């Protein structure tokens, strides 16, 4: 049977994915400095093997034939995802992929150097080449998928998400935040005037922070027999579901950034560890997309890790590992600090979406050809001044050069960050409606019911549904900005 051939293919591809994922995680954490060249050769060889096997011409015939076979519900869903994966992997000519890969690598390497020099003029030609190729990619994907150009790019990261549905939601959120940010800052100033911020001691050895992180990971549900915690320059979640590799970084002057980074990556890891194991070798068994993945990480970091109820349980754990006693009133101003800033990755949960929405708006203009690369600095500056009252016109390093996404050609990715935050808030609202005592559970350090709801509604579904369908089935509603807005009001203006 043709489906059996696809099933066998899935096992082969899963093995190659496993090897690539573990090699990639090791490269970022434990590989010796001199191992880079041979590691790159090995990974390139494996990536080539994966691509050749995943795009073999006969797969199209197998998929067509399998559609005529008697399949059960899971197999039929798997077949849809096999077709989606195959279409997305074969709609770009190999010559184009090679040309685009070379342009991306050159631009990303130049970006590292030129950002350090704050030199937009020297960086611009390389980015122009990348954007030109992104427009070509968008056109080819749009034709193959029957979608608008930017929707075709987003489809690579979030199947089912469309500009027509996202833009009104982002517009509502943006309008709210432009008024709410000054309000939240004023309330914060008023509170700090009454009760000054208790400073951190500035003495937090990395090993003690690591032990605290491991304790928190285990408590919220991370399976330490199928995963580990390491150190890297930038926190990430990698590896494979049976061996999830998460990392963080430590600053001995404070502990919250490492702890929140660890909780964030643990959220990603919980999703991976709880995907349906019986589907692991099918595209159906993979995580649905980047915004769903981000919703799971932000759920742990924001809905749980910055929840006052969580800190009622967590403060004694922090004291046991770091030797410092804090009250809830001492720690929450640190946990909930709001500040306007230029850098997206350093932003708090109130200002962060404004950074993302700016990029989402500019990306669409760039892909459509209504904005040229030479015009980005002025457009970026205008957007930052409008959203946060900050100018970047003479500082492109902290403006349009701050992210690696555009040099790397990752257009259509940015929306997932804020979509994930909104989805996490909506999921929390649905969970607490079904289980009103969730905060009481957090205060006791009991995550059983919370994780059970997430396992049933999100984790166990793999890629059975599109992103919008998964959200509606989990929460009973389409994505609604109102839940995230209500979350921010309750936390920062109550």
Beta bridge partners, 429, equal: none
CA geometry: angle 403, 408, 414, nearest 5 deg = 55
User: Which is catalytic among the residues 81, 137, 155, 265?
Assistant: 265
The pLDDT tens digits of the residues spanning 110-158 come to 998 999 999 999 999 999 999 999 999 999 999 999 999 999 999 999 9
pLDDT confidence of residue 213: 98
Axis-axis angle for helices 120-145, 94-117 (nearest 10): 150
| CATH number given to 160-494 | 1.10.1370.30
Is 265 annotated as catalytic? yes
CA geometry: angle 154, 392, 254, nearest 5 deg = 85
pLDDT confidence of residue 253: 95
Give which of 467, 64, 430, 120 is closest to 291, Cα–Cα: 467
For the chain, the domains span 1-90, 160-494
Check: CB of residue 230 under 8 Å from CB of residue 245: yes
pLDDT confidence of residue 494: 84
pLDDT confidence of residue 56: 96
How many CB atoms are closer than 10 A to CB 421?
27
Q: Where are the alpha helices (DSSP H) in 369-447?
A: 376-388, 415-434, 438-444
Segments in the chain below pLDDT 50: none
pLDDT confidence of residue 49: 93
DSSP track, 336-374: T-----S-GGG--TTTHHHHHHHHHHHHHHHHHTSS-GG
How far does the chain reach from its first CA to its final CA, in angstroms? 61
Check: CB of residue 470 under 8 Å from CB of residue 458: yes
Sign of CA dihedral 306, 308, 309, 315: positive
């Amino acid at each position: 049977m043709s489906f059996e051939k696809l099933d066998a293919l899935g096992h082969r591809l899963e093995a190659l994915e496993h090897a690539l994922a573990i090699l990639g995680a090791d490269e970022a954490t434990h590989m010796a400095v001199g191992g880079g060249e041979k590691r790159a050769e090995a990974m390139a060889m494996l990536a080539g093997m994966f691509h050749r096997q995943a795009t073999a011409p006969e797969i199209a015939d197998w998929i067509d034939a399998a559609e005529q076979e008697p399949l059960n519900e899971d197999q039929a869903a798997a077949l849809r995802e096999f077709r989606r994966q195959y279409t997305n992997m074969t709609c770009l000519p190999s010559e184009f992929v090679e040309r685009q890969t070379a342009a991306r690598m050159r631009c990303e390497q130049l970006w590292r150097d030129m950002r350090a020099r704050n030199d937009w003029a020297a960086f611009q030609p390389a980015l122009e080449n990348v954007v030109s190729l992104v427009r070509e990619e968008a056109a080819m994907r749009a034709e193959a998928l029957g979608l608008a150009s930017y929707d075709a790019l987003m489809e690579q990261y979030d199947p089912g998400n469309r500009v027509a549905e996202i833009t009104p939601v982002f517009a509502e959120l943006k309008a709210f935040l432009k008024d709410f940010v000054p309000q939240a800052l004023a309330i914060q100033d008023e509170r700090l005037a009454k009760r000054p911020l208790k400073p951190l001691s500035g003495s937090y050895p990395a090993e003690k922070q690591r032990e605290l992180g491991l304790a928190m990971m285990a408590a919220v549900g991370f399976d330490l027999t199928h995963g580990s915690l390491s150190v890297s320059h930038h926190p990430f979640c990698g590896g494979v579901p049976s061996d999830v590799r998460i990392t963080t970084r430590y600053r001995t002057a404070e502990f919250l950034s490492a702890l929140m980074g660890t909780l964030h990556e643990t959220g990603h890891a919980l999703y991976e560890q709880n995907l349906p194991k019986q589907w692991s070798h099918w595209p159906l068994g993979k995580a649905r997309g980047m915004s769903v993945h981000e919703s799971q990480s932000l759920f742990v970091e924001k809905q749980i890790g910055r929840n006052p109820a969580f800190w009622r349980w967590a403060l004694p754990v922090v004291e046991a590992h770091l030797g410092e006693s804090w009250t809830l009133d001492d720690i929450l101003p640190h946990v909930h600090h709001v500040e306007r800033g230029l850098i997206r990755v350093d932003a708090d949960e109130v200002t962060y979406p404004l950074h993302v929405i700016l990029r989402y708006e500019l990306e669409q203009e760039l892909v459509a050809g209504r904005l040229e690369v030479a015009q980005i600095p002025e457009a970026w500056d205008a957007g930052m001044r409008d959203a946060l009252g900050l100018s970047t016109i003479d500082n492109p390093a902290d403006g349009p050069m701050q992210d690696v996404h555009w040099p790397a050609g990752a257009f259509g990715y940015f929306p997932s960050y804020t979509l994930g935050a909104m989805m996490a808030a909506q999921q929390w609202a649905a969970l607490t409606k079904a289980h009103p005592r969730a905060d009481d559970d957090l205060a006791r350090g009991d995550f059983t019911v919370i994780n059970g709801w997430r396992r049933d509604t999100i984790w166990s579904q793999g890629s059975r549904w599109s992103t919008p369908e998964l959200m509606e089935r989990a929460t009973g509603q389409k994505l609604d900005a109102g839940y995230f807005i209500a979350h921010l009001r309750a936390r920062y203006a109550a």
